[in-house]
Chains A and B, each alone.
Chain A
Amino acid sequence: SQQGEEDPQALSIQEGENATMNCSYKTSINNLQWYRQNSGRGLVHLILIRSNEREKHSGRLRVTLDTSKKSSSLLITASRAADTASYFCATGAGTALIFGKGTTLSVSS
């Protein structure tokens, strides 16, 4: 069954603005991962945050995790046109990653 749900489904912003995507999940997790998918390409791993971590940074990306609310957020700062893609959260619990439906981000110049 589907675990993660991203919100919003679609997001349109201007270059230079920040983009925030949220992910909610239902059961206990070991970790939560964020992936990016450019049109016509495979998913690319962005960041992994473990259940005992609250925040993680990687370049312009900032991920937070609130296990009490079963939610995570991905913040992309100073967005660029090249950030246009779909972003997925995936929860790891046991033997598989369960992906959400994704947020489609459009960044216009």
Chain B
Amino acid sequence: DTAVSQTPKYLVTQMGNDKSIKCEQNLGHDTMYWYKQDSKKFLKIMFSYNNKELIINETVPNRFSPKSPDKAHLNLHINSLELGDSAVYFCASSQGVFGAQPQHFGDGTRLSIL
């Protein structure tokens, strides 16, 4: 069974559209994250949820809205997509204190804006 799974794996869409990415983890972890990896492989934290509560909200445009319906799921909704949103988005999870435990990553969602 995949520990952290994201859907879809690929997302190609037009500028201005709204899209969602879903993430689920079956590890029983209490903390989940969204990261953005750019074309130079730089990985940056976007959001973090602990027990469904928003903990980290980095400087991200408010077009990005995370939602955590339960501890095992963290979805990312993006409104009015822009060219600069093209990137790979990774979901991750960990147990316990956020920066002190190993994180488990999904395989990413490759978002391409036309």
Same complex: yes
Is the Cβ of B42 less than 8 Å from the Cβ of A42?
Answer: no
Q: Contact at B102–A42, with CB atoms within 8 Å?
A: no
Number of A-B contacts (CB under 8 A): 61
A45 to B100, CA, bound (A): 13
Within 8 A of B (CB), among A32-58: 33, 37, 40-45, 48
In the complex, the answer to whether B56 meets A95 with C-beta atoms within 8 Å is: yes
Closest to B45 in A: A96
The contact of B48 among A41, A95, A102, by CB within 8 Å, is A95
| Interface set, chain A 72-97, CB cutoff 8 A to B | 86, 88, 91-97
Nearest Cβ on chain B to A29's Cβ, whole angstroms = 9
B90 and A43: CB pair below 8 A?
Answer: yes
**From residue B17, how far is it (CB to closest CB) to chain A in Å?**
24
Q: Are B106 and A42 in contact (CB under 8 A)?
A: yes
Tell me if B108 is interfacial: C-beta within 8 Å of chain A. Answer: yes
Q: Are the C-beta atoms of A97 and B103 separated by less than 8 Å?
A: yes
- Known contacts A41-B107, A95-B55, A101-B41; decide if A30 and B100 are in contact (CB<8 Å): yes
Which residues of the partner chain A approach B105 to less than 8 Å between Cβ atoms?
42-44
> Main secondary structure on chain A at its contact with chain B?
strand
Contact: B56 with A101, CB < 8 Å?
no
Q: Smallest distance from the beta carbon of B96 to chain A beta carbons, Å?
A: 11
Residue of B nearest to A37 (CB): B41
Measured in the bound complex, the distance between the Cα atoms of B61 and A71 in whole Å is 33
CB atoms of B103 and A45 under 8 A apart? yes
Per CB-CB distance, the 8 closest pairs between chain A and chain B, nearest first, are A92-B99, A42-B105, A45-B102, A99-B43, A43-B105, A95-B98, A42-B107, A96-B45
**24 pairs across A/B with beta carbons < 8 Å?**
A37-B41, A40-B108, A42-B105, A42-B106, A42-B107, A42-B108, A43-B90, A43-B103, A43-B105, A45-B102, A45-B104, A91-B99, A92-B98, A92-B100, A94-B99, A95-B98, A96-B45, A96-B56, A96-B99, A97-B45, A97-B98, A97-B99, A97-B103, A99-B44
